[in-house]
Structure 1
Amino acid sequence: MSKLNALFRERIGLPQDEPITFDDLENVLEKTAKAIPFENLCIIEKRTRAITKESLIDKILVKNEGGLCYELNAILYLFLLENGFDAVLTRGRVYQHDLQAYHTVGRTHVTILLTHEEQTYVVDTGFGGNLPLKPVPLSGETVASSNGDFRIIKGKGEHGDYVLEMKLKHKDTDWKIGYAFDSKQVITDVSECNAVQTIIVEHQESPFNKHPLATRLTDGGSVTVTNSSFTQWRDGTVAKEKIDHGRFKELLKQHFGLQIISS
């Protein structure tokens, strides 16, 4: 067993000697969503590194940090390959609901396309609190998970040929757009994620280069912390509190196992 395979299993709490089938992916995705946070601390602290297989292993599996989509889905993609799955990466454009438009920074979402028995699915562990937690087929079938309902419809226009839609549990009553993606423009080398990282780090309209953020799913919902607030969803009930820097550091350690390197 490779280093990546063994360390990934250890990080999410998966037995080392257990083969993974397609039917096991739901369990893998749930464990990953709860164990590895979606967070941008390395960007805020200006300590990003080039995206390689080795740097992803070191950051996420050795140092036990989290990351953004181009890191989380890249490491999961590599893990899936190690376990015999037919998978590629692709880039998507996220929809901004406050503006009712796709984000102007471009195709900065990286997701996974996995093919099983001649059917293609989206597999995504890098979309913050909006994770399907199950493979979502491109056929349009609705998939229900503990995080809500998800489906993929045919896309229109230049943003991509497919669109992920979602109805998050306890939050949405109608379908809303997650992101559009192009199933024909695939990525097989994680180094191509560096182009995404550059936009996220440098673009003035990037949502991830201004304030620290960490979020992950929990058994009852999710926890999210920024430098000014702490939000906890538990069984459909939300609790939110304003926090200061000291409390931010405490919560970051308590709920995510992360530490601020710069003061």
Structure 2
Amino acid sequence: MPPSELDLDAYLARIGLPAAGPPTLTLLQTIVAAQAATIPFENLDIILGRPIRLDIGSIQAKLVHARRGGYCFEQNTLLRAALERLGFTVTSLMARVVLGATADAITPRTHMLLQVDLPDGACLADVGFGNLTPTAPLMLARDQPQPTGHEDYLLRPLDGETLLQARLGTEWKNVYRFSGLPSHPVDHEVGNWFTSTRPDGIFTSNVIAARPGTRCRKTLLNGTVTIRDPDNRPERLILKTETALRDALHDHFGLDLDAGELAAVHAAIRRFSGRKETAFDFD
């Protein structure tokens, strides 16, 4: 199979599905939940000084065959390729992240997500928003809370766009805002380059990993693993040694680094110690 094409069987094996049927809402729900639970969100290649490549050959080599994770551009490009191979109609979109900001804040469009059109209606599918990744597709036309296996989400109109909010405990938090204007690979390349290279940016100045667990969220931010329950109550584990980091990456995020990579990531954690990011720490 040419490297420009997705190895669908390898992808399904990676996310733990033995087979897939027709392109229905039920199958979309299964795939979104499985990819979110299996392939972690992480920025470790950015910290290791490696470019983030968005061709499907590079993405599947990393996320599928090497069993690594990635962030929105990698995760949702992979998801789109798989959904299209399975017969879904998919459109890429770009969003302005407003987590920790007002809903109308003018932030750059640096988050990639997907719209999937089904007979049931159009859905938002997004497996690449860190520790608030929706673990189920969300119906775009439904202006009421939608439960997932984790948080409840709300999509509501805002000045000609759509605002995504998540319920954390008893509070609704703004997540991101997007229009229905389709985006294209060149848009993703620009957003990816900005996000992965910007000095002092969130992904260049923090060590981050995230993966949903069973009725919990697990996040690594600069040497602290936080596990949040459905009521948004945190339990924290401080990683003081390389060994602790290695074990946490494996046990909580399914990531295994070689000795050189582990040492470099641990050194970065020491450099970034004490940094706070509202997008990954809600206190």
State the TM bucket, normalised to the shorter chain: 0.7 to 0.9
Alpha-carbon distance, 1:193 to partner: 1.9
* 2:171 matches 1:174: yes
**In 2, Cα distance between equivalents of 1:112 and 1:10:** 22
**In 1, Cα distance between equivalents of 2:202 and 2:52:** 19
Alpha-carbon distance, 1:203 to partner: 2.1
- Contact between 2:16 and 2:34, CA under 8 Å: does it hold in 1? yes
Corresponding position of 1:131: 133
SS at match of 1:183: coil
**In 1, Cα distance between equivalents of 2:31 and 2:197:** 33
**In 2, Cα distance between equivalents of 1:142 and 1:105:** 25
Aligned residues, how many?
Answer: 254
Alpha-carbon distance, 1:86 to partner: 0.6
Query: 1:36 and 1:143, CA in 2 relative to 1: closer, same or farther beyond 3 A?
Result: same
Deviates more, 1:248-257 or 1:34-43: 248-257
* 2:193 matches 1:183: no
Corresponding position of 2:33: 30
SS at match of 2:206: coil
Q: For each residue in 1:13-52, what CA deviation from the matched residue of structure 2 results, as whole angstroms up to 9, or x when unmatched? A: 0013544522222222221111010100010101124311
* 2:229 matches 1:221: no
**In 1, Cα distance between equivalents of 2:125 and 2:193:** 23
Map 1:62-211 onto structure 2 (within 5 A). 62-97=65-100, 99-100=101-102, 106-117=108-119, 119-139=121-141, 140-156=143-159, 161-167=161-167, 171-184=168-181, 186-189=182-185, 192-204=187-199, 206-211=201-206
Q: For each residue in 1:68-89, what CA deviation from the matched residue of structure 2 results, as whole angstroms up to 9, or x when unmatched? A: 1111111001111010001011
**In 2, Cα distance between equivalents of 1:65 and 1:103:** 33
**In 1, Cα distance between equivalents of 2:187 and 2:169:** 34
**In 2, Cα distance between equivalents of 1:50 and 1:181:** 24
* 2:239 matches 1:243: yes
Corresponding position of 1:55: 58
- Contact between 1:105 and 1:203, CA under 8 Å: does it hold in 2? no
**In 1, Cα distance between equivalents of 2:253 and 2:31:** 19
- Contact between 1:114 and 1:122, CA under 8 Å: does it hold in 2? yes
User: For residue 11 of structure 1, what is the amino acid of its counterpart?
Assistant: R
Gaps of 5+ in 2: 264-283
**In 2, Cα distance between equivalents of 1:83 and 1:76:** 11
Alpha-carbon distance, 1:150 to partner: 1.2
Query: 1:248 and 1:102, CA in 2 relative to 1: closer, same or farther beyond 3 A?
Result: farther
User: For residue 135 of structure 1, what is the amino acid of its counterpart?
Assistant: P
Alpha-carbon distance, 1:93 to partner: 0.6
Alpha-carbon distance, 1:230 to partner: 1.5
Q: Give the structure with the higher percent strand.
A: 1
Alpha-carbon distance, 1:113 to partner: 0.7
Alpha-carbon distance, 1:214 to partner: 0.8
Q: For each residue in 1:58-104, what CA deviation from the matched residue of structure 2 results, as whole angstroms up to 9, or x when unmatched? A: 1111111111111111100111101000101111011131x546676
Q: For each residue in 1:184-233, what CA deviation from the matched residue of structure 2 results, as whole angstroms up to 9, or x when unmatched? A: 2x1354x5422111111222352111121111001131222233212123
Give the one of 21, 24, 43 matched to 1:21. 24
Give the one of 221, 234, 251 matched to 1:254. 251
**In 2, Cα distance between equivalents of 1:229 and 1:199:** 26
C-alpha RMSD of the superposition: 2.3
**In 2, Cα distance between equivalents of 1:145 and 1:101:** 22
**In 2, Cα distance between equivalents of 1:50 and 1:25:** 26
**In 1, Cα distance between equivalents of 2:134 and 2:67:** 23
- Contact between 1:227 and 1:245, CA under 8 Å: does it hold in 2? no
Alpha-carbon distance, 1:245 to partner: 4.0
User: For residue 176 of structure 2, what is the amino acid of its counterpart?
Assistant: Y
